[in-house]
Amino acid sequence: MIRPDGLRAGFHAHLAGAGVPGLVHAGDQRAPSSWLITEHSHEVWELYLQTDGPATRWRIGDAEYEVPPNGLLMVSPHVAHRMARPAETVWQFMFAALDAPLLVPDVPWHRLPVFVADAAPAVAPFETFLREVTTTRALRVPGLRAGAQHLLVEVARLLMPGVATGRRALHPAVAHVLGVLETRYTERLTLSALARRAGLSPSYLAELFTAQLGVSPARHQARLRIRRGRTLLAETDQSITWIAAELGFSSPQHFATAFRSHTGTTPREFRRRSQGA
C-alpha cells in the first residue's frame, strides 16, 4: 500500500497477492488540480467513482464523459482511458481494478454501458470494500472477496438497462434535496437554504423529507459526514483535526461528539480498532 507523490491524501493498494483471484488494485485518493491521470489501460475492468470536487472529464476510447460527484465509470480491459483535462480544483475518487467476470460471472459485463451519472447506491459498498482492503482483521480473504462481489453487484444493477435501482419513488423536492446533500454534505446547508432550492417552506420540506426517508435533512447530512469520516479514519493517517475540517465540522470536538452520537465510540478509538493498532 502506497501514497503516490503529489496526492493530498489517500492510497493505492496492490492486491494481486491478497489471496483473492481477480483483485488487482484499489484505492481512495484526494488529488490537487495539478494531478492529471494520463492515458493507460488494464488487463481487467477498472471502476472509477468520483466522490467529491468538480466534475472531471474523461476520454475512454473515442468517447468523452463528464463525471460529476457520484458519477461512475467502468472501463473494459485493454481499453485506453485518460483524463481529458485537469480538474478545476481538489477532487476525490475511489477506484478498483477487478476481474469482474471471475468474481461475478452472472453478468454480461461486455454489454454494459461505461458510465452512469448517479451511482450513489455504490458509494457505501465501495467504502466497505476499501475498509477490507486497508485493515488486517480476521477473515480478511473472505471479507475482501465478499466486499468486491457486493460492489460489483451494485455496479451491475446501476449499469444494466431497464433494471430499477430499488429506491422507492420520492417526491421531486425530496429527491432534489437528497441529491444536494449527497454531493455537498461537507457544506453548511441550513433547512431554509434547502427549502429555497426545493421551492417549499422549511417546515413542509422537513415533514416531507422525514416522512419519506425516516430522518430529517440535518440528520441525513450528519450521517453522510460520519460515514465519510469512518472511511477517512480507517483508510488514511490524516489527523482527526484535518478530518473534522475536511467534513465541515466547526472543531475536532464537534466532530468527536457527532461521531460518538452516531457510532457509540470516539474517532480515536474507531481508528485504533479499524487499523488494528
pLDDT at 274: 76
In the chain, what are the domains?
9-159 (2.60.120.10), 172-274 (1.10.10.60)
Strand pairing category for 72-75 and 45-52: antiparallel
Query: Rounded CA gap, 127 and 234, in Å?
Result: 10
Pairing of strands 45-52, 91-98: antiparallel
Residue 273: predicted pLDDT? 81
User: DSSP secondary structure string, 115-161?
Assistant: EES--GGGHHHHHHHHHHHH---TTHHHHHHHHHHHHHHHHHHHHST
Is the pTM above the cut of 0.85?
no
Q: What angle do CA 72, 78, 79 make, to 5 degrees?
A: 50
CA Rg value for the chain: 19
pLDDT in tens, the chain (277 residues): 887 788 778 899 999 999 999 999 999 998 898 889 999 999 999 999 998 888 899 999 989 999 988 899 999 999 999 999 998 888 899 999 999 999 999 999 999 999 998 888 898 899 999 999 988 778 999 999 999 999 999 999 999 865 444 445 678 899 889 888 988 889 999 999 999 999 999 999 999 998 888 889 999 999 899 989 988 888 888 899 999 999 999 999 999 999 998 888 899 998 888 766 5
Which pLDDT score, from 0 to 100, does residue 213 have? 80
Cell numbers given for 67: 463525471
Check residue 168 and give its pLDDT: 54
The x, y and z cell numbers of residue 170, run together, are: 420520492
Q: 156-159: long-range contacts at Cβ-Cβ below 8 A with a sequence spacing of 24 or more?
A: 156/104, 156/107, 156/109, 156/112, 157/121, 158/72, 158/116, 158/119, 158/121, 158/122, 159/74, 159/112, 159/113, 159/116
Task: Tell me, rounded to whole angstroms, the distance of Cα 221 from its chain centroid.
Answer: 15
Cβ–Cβ < 8 Å for 223, 182? no
* pLDDT value, residue 163: 47
